[in-house]
Amino acid sequence: DVLRRPWLEQLERHTNDVGVFRRKFLRLRIEEVFTSPQCPAGDLFVFLTVTPHPLFERQGPDLMLDVPLSVFDALLGTELDIPTLDGQTTKVKVPENTSPDTLLRLRGKGMSHLNNPRHHGDLLLNINVVMPEKLTKTDKETLSKLRDETPESAQTKAFRKKLAAHS
C-alpha cells in the first residue's frame, strides 16, 4: 500500500471542511509516505474544485437563490417554503408590493465559515418577478380598469415631471 492511513485522514479532513471555497489549494505534509528514491517524502499540493449546487450559487459564505414570483404574489404578498442547504425548508414571508430584484436575507442559513464553523453566512433570496405568459381579453380589461383606478406612484409622478421639464 503506497499511501498510509495518516495521509488519507489528513486529506479527508481538509476536503470535508464545510467552508472550503472553489479553487482552494491544500498543502499536505507527506513524510516518509513514499519509500522509493523516485518518490521522496515532501509536500503534496491538492487543488480543490467545489461542484456547483443545482439550486444555490455560492458567494463566499453566503448562498444566493433565484426565486421566481408571479406579479400577483409580488403585489399581494405571499408565503413561500424555501429549501435550505441542510435539506430542510423554512417559511419566508414575501411582503406585499415586492419589487423585482429585491433581496430577502435569511441570516445564518448560508455556508459555514472556513475558520469558524459555528458562524454561517446568509441565504439571499433574489426575487424575480415573472409576468404572465398570456392574458385573456377579460384579464386585459380587468388590468386596464385597475390601472385607471390606481393612483400614480410618487416615483412615476417625479419621472413624468422630469420628462416634461426636459422637453
Residue 1, pLDDT score = 43
pTM: 0.68
| CA distance readout (Å), 53 to 57, 127, 146, 165 | 7, 19, 41, 50
Residue 104, pLDDT score = 97
Residue 21, pLDDT score = 54
Asked whether 120 and 110 are in contact (CB, 8 A), the reply is yes
Residue 41, pLDDT score = 63
With a cut of 70, which residues of the chain have pLDDT below it? 1-50, 114
Residue 85, pLDDT score = 85
Residue 4, pLDDT score = 46
Q: Each residue of 42-73: pLDDT tens digit?
A: 666 666 666 788 899 988 889 999 999 999 99
- Go through 14-43 and write b for each residue having 16 or more CB atoms within 10 A of its CB, e for each that does not: eeeeebbeeebebeeebeebbeeeeeeeee
Residue 166, pLDDT score = 86
